[in-house]
């Protein structure tokens, strides 16, 4: 893994909202095929950081390379095209409540016609993505007919449908019971194998971090405070690091 080239490089990222300094030099990379977990306290800037990676927030300073392209220099069209390679699982699930599961999954296909062309019948792709999350039978349900865990799976299927090279997960297990969380974690691991994706995973969940990370980074005080394997961080004597492992 050490010799593999980075698919994402974040260098010296700064982002403030007014006087609220959120990111203050955050730096990390994600290598091809790697799963990196980013942990940090609520409000530490994890979601802001990941939104900068897909161009939903603009950094004050710093560079973000995704597949060798500087996100902040891309025009609308190129950014849109790059986004077909980046699946983003939002905090919550962010399904469109007025659309069926099928329509939710068709949405990205219709929006990004460059990658698959104008599909006459998107159903096979929709079914394939749903089968991969074990929800083929739910294709014609509405979001309000789904449980929390099912919603999360549908959201995951919606990011998979474009066959992205990168998946960014923002709190994939938060709000789920321990058993459903485990299922989602297993699913994330099987997706990684099946689709050969690289991922940044934001989580508070120490069990999730342990089960899924090749490497972990703690975002503290706006920077990548410490990084290493789960076991290394767990063994740290630094009180700021220890707090995470006691917290649970």
Ligand X SMILES: Nc1ncnc2c1ncn2[C@@H]1O[C@H](COP(=O)(O)OP(=O)(O)OP(=O)(O)O)[C@@H](O)[C@H]1O
Judged by the rule CB under 6 A, the positions of this chain that interact with ligand X are: 17, 20, 22, 40, 42-48, 91
Q: CB of 230: closest distance to Mg ion in angstroms?
A: 21
Partner whose footprint covers residue 20, from ligand X, Mg ion, none (CB < 5 to 8 Å by kind): ligand X
Q: What angle do CA 33, 111, 143 make, to 5 degrees?
A: 85
Q: For residue 136, count other CB atoms closer than 10 A to its CB.
A: 14
Q: How far is CA 3 from the centre of its chain?
A: 23
Give residues with Cβ within 8 angstroms of 69, minimum separation 6. 78, 82
> 44 or 104: whose CB is closer to ligand X?
44
Q: Which stretch binds Mg ion (CB under 5 A): 28-36, 47-55, 76-84, 172-180?
A: 47-55
> 45 or 172: whose CB is closer to ligand X?
45
Partner whose footprint covers residue 215, from ligand X, Mg ion, none (CB < 5 to 8 Å by kind): none
Q: CB of 36: closest distance to ligand X in angstroms?
A: 16
Q: For residue 157, count other CB atoms closer than 10 A to its CB.
A: 27
> 38 or 105: whose CB is closer to Mg ion?
38
Applying CB under 5 A, among 15, 30, 39, 47 the residue interacting with Mg ion is 47
Q: CB of 46: closest distance to ligand X in angstroms?
A: 4
The strand pair at 215-220 and 223-228 is best described as: antiparallel
> 137 φ, ψ to 5°?
-70, -15
Determine the angle formed by the axes of helices 101-111 and 148-160, rounding to 10 degrees: 20
Q: Which stretch binds Mg ion (CB under 5 A): 76-84, 90-98, 147-155, 174-182?
A: 90-98
Partner whose footprint covers residue 48, from Mg ion, ligand X, none (CB < 5 to 8 Å by kind): ligand X
Q: CB of 112: closest distance to ligand X in angstroms?
A: 25
How many angstroms separate the CA atoms of 66 and 166, rounded? Answer: 9
Q: For residue 65, count other CB atoms closer than 10 A to its CB.
A: 16
**Footprint of Mg ion (CB under 5 A):** 47, 91
């Amino acid at each position: 893994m050490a010799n593999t080239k980075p698919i994402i490089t974040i260098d010296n990222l700064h982002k403030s909202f007014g006087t609220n300094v959120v990111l203050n030099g955050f730096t990390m990379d994600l290598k091809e095929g790697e799963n990196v977990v980013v942990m940090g306290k609520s409000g530490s800037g994890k979601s802001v950081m990941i939104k900068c990676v897909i161009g939903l927030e603009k950094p004050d300073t710093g560079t973000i390379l995704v597949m060798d392209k500087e996100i902040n220099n891309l025009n609308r069209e190129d950014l849109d095209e790059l986004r077909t390679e980046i699946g983003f699982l939002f905090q919550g699930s962010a399904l469109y409540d007025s659309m069926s599961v099928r329509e939710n999954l068709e949405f990205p296909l219709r929006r990004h016609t460059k990658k698959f062309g104008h599909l006459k019948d998107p159903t096979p792709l929709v079914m394939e993505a749903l089968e991969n999350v074990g929800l083929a039978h739910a294709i014609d349900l509405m979001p309000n007919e789904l449980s929390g865990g099912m919603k999360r799976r549908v959201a995951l299927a919606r990011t998979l449908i474009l066959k992205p090279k990168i998946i960014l997960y923002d709190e994939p297990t938060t709000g789920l019971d321990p058993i459903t969380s485990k299922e989602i974690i297993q699913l994330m691991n099987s997706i990684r194998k099946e689709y050969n994706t690289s991922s940044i995973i934001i989580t508070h969940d120490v069990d999730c971090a342990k089960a899924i990370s090749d490497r972990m980074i703690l975002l503290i005080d706006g920077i990548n405070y410490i990084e290493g394997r789960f076991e290394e961080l767990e063994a740290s004597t630094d009180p700021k690091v220890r707090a995470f492992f006691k917290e649970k």
